[in-house]
Amino acid sequence: FISFIFLSSGTGSNILSALQDLFWLLKSKVEKQLQIISVLQWVLTFLIMGKDQNLMQPCFLLSCTSPGIACTLILMYILCTDCWAIAALYLAWLVFDWNTPKKGGRRSQWVRNWTIWRYFRDYFPIRLVKTHNLLTTRNYIFGYHPHGIMGLGAFCNFSTEATGVSQKFPGIRPYLATLAGNFRMPILRDYLMSGGICPVNRDSIDYILSKNGSGNAIIIVVGGAAESLNCTPGKNSVTLKNRKGFVKLALRHGADLVPVYSFGENEVYQQVIFEEGSWGRWVQKKFQKHIGFAPCIFHGRGLFSSNTWGLLPYSKPITTVVGEPITIPKTDNPSQEEVDFYHSLYVDSLIKLFDKYKSKFGLPETEVLEVN
């Protein structure tokens, strides 16, 4: 009876309302911390376990170790412990399983649907936009632009199910192409394959596009390391004029080309841009030529504050728009004229995609996509 009077008086309802507000405040803070942790573990995993010219560039805070060195050291350590038999069995199985990455890999829907990837998505947030249906009777090569520092949109959209790629493109199996050297590293190779990531080499791509049935989509970050050197907030430019190898691959397999542009990919990190002819750019190009990646000096936000520098990317929206497929005929030995023709069609299609959606995602109508 006393409780009834207490609630009727309005005091109780005010307390309940305050408690409810406190609950939602605490919940939102917990979710934000989980988002930060999910992004941080991904950044650290790829910086320490391995680097990739399509997915990542080394941070200025970390040494330029070879890809997957941490995985190799872990395995060697286990061999020296009482659990050596486990490591020995894994190495024996590794010999048997060595060519699996070249044959489409071994994706895991369980890994692709981990809850951590949804927190990863919501941190920015990242969004996938479908503009056209894709036929399951065809194979595709997606050209992903721009590279950014880490290709965050490419990973989240196509190596996880966080943005619903399988629901938006039913019957299509996405394969994000990455540096082939990563698949020679124990443990790391299995982690990459579980997300549907494949080596960006001819053997792997030939297998997926010719011996793996239809409904396959290989995502290639066309600009690679060279493009990453110019990515900076407020700049929309792609390295594409002399990148024609992916077009030749599409012609050889009759795989349709699909332009993909990620608005906001360049906004999540600040980078020191070295001008052409400077010593910094000379060093970057030497690394790119001889080692396969270009070291970038960049920073994001701190772990505890967005006003400090750190490894975490800034929480800026990334919207990945998948454009209209360009039908490509199958030609076993395409001529240079054919490659140039379809490359020109692809460039025009990418520019049209950018112009159509730029104003919807925060860019002015006067913004122009720079094609280098």
Range of the domain at 281: 37-50+66-371
Report the distance separating Cα 301 and Cα 314, nearest Å: 6
**Residue 267 near residue 364, CB atoms below 8 Å:** no
CATH number at residue 295: 3.40.1130
Whether 287 has a pLDDT exceeding 80, the answer reads no
- In 3D space, the residue among 227, 269, 275 whose CA is nearest the CA of residue 47 turns out to be 269
Confidence of residue 229 (pLDDT cuts 50, 70, 90): confident
Mean of per-residue pLDDT scores for the chain: 86
Confidence of residue 9 (pLDDT cuts 50, 70, 90): low
Count structural domains, the chain. 1
- In 3D space, the residue among 160, 162, 39 whose CA is nearest the CA of residue 111 turns out to be 160
- Greater model confidence, 299 or 334: 334
Least confident window among 93-97, 171-175, 259-263 = 93-97
Which letter does DSSP use for residue 290 in this model?
H
Average pLDDT over residues 126-141: 97
- Establish if 321 belongs to a structural domain: yes
- Establish if 22 belongs to a structural domain: no
Q: For the CA atoms of 28, 34, 39, 44, what is the dihedral angle to 10 degrees?
A: 150
Least confident window among 39-53, 103-117, 336-350 = 39-53
Report the distance separating Cα 234 and Cα 283, nearest Å: 25
- In 3D space, the residue among 175, 176, 172, 173 whose CA is nearest the CA of residue 135 turns out to be 172
Amino acid at 56: M
- Establish if 12 belongs to a structural domain: no
- Greater model confidence, 114 or 30: 114
Radius of gyration of the CA atoms of the chain, in A: 23
- Establish if 21 belongs to a structural domain: no
Report the distance separating Cα 146 and Cα 243, nearest Å: 13
Report the distance separating Cα 213 and Cα 220, nearest Å: 19
At 291 the pLDDT is: 63
- Please give the structure tokens belonging to residue 184: 């020679």
Name the β-bridge partners of 218.
141, 175
Whether 319 has a pLDDT exceeding 90, the answer reads yes
- Establish if 230 belongs to a structural domain: yes
Report the distance separating Cα 184 and Cα 71, nearest Å: 11
Report the distance separating Cα 105 and Cα 97, nearest Å: 10
- In 3D space, the residue among 253, 212, 210 whose CA is nearest the CA of residue 104 turns out to be 212
At 152 the pLDDT is: 94
At 6 the pLDDT is: 45
At 57 the pLDDT is: 41
Span 30-75, pLDDT tens digits: 899 999 999 998 888 766 654 444 443 433 333 333 445 677 788 8
3-class DSSP state for residue 296?
coil
At 54 the pLDDT is: 44
Whether 17 has a pLDDT exceeding 80, the answer reads no
Show Cβ contacts of residue 98 under 8 Å, excluding neighbours closer than 6 positions.
none
At 16 the pLDDT is: 64
**Residue 56 near residue 150, CB atoms below 8 Å:** yes
Whether 115 has a pLDDT exceeding 60, the answer reads yes
Handedness of CA 53, 55, 61, 65 (dihedral sign): negative
CA distances from 317 to 305, 309, 346 (A): 18, 19, 26
CA distances from 329 to 198, 247, 371 (A): 24, 11, 25
How many Cα atoms are found within 13 Å in the side-chain-facing hemisphere of 237? 14
Report the distance separating Cα 139 and Cα 257, nearest Å: 9
60: number of Cβ within 10 Å: 12
- Establish if 15 belongs to a structural domain: no
Query: Percentage of residues in the chain with pLDDT exceeding 70?
Result: 85
- Greater model confidence, 339 or 83: 339
- Establish if 18 belongs to a structural domain: no
- Please give the structure tokens belonging to residue 2: 């006393």
Span 189-228, pLDDT tens digits: 898 999 999 998 899 999 999 999 999 999 999 998 778 8
10: number of Cβ within 10 Å: 9
Report the distance separating Cα 254 and Cα 304, nearest Å: 50
3-class DSSP state for residue 176?
strand
Span 254-276, pLDDT tens digits: 999 999 999 999 999 988 877 77
pTM: 0.85
- Establish if 339 belongs to a structural domain: yes
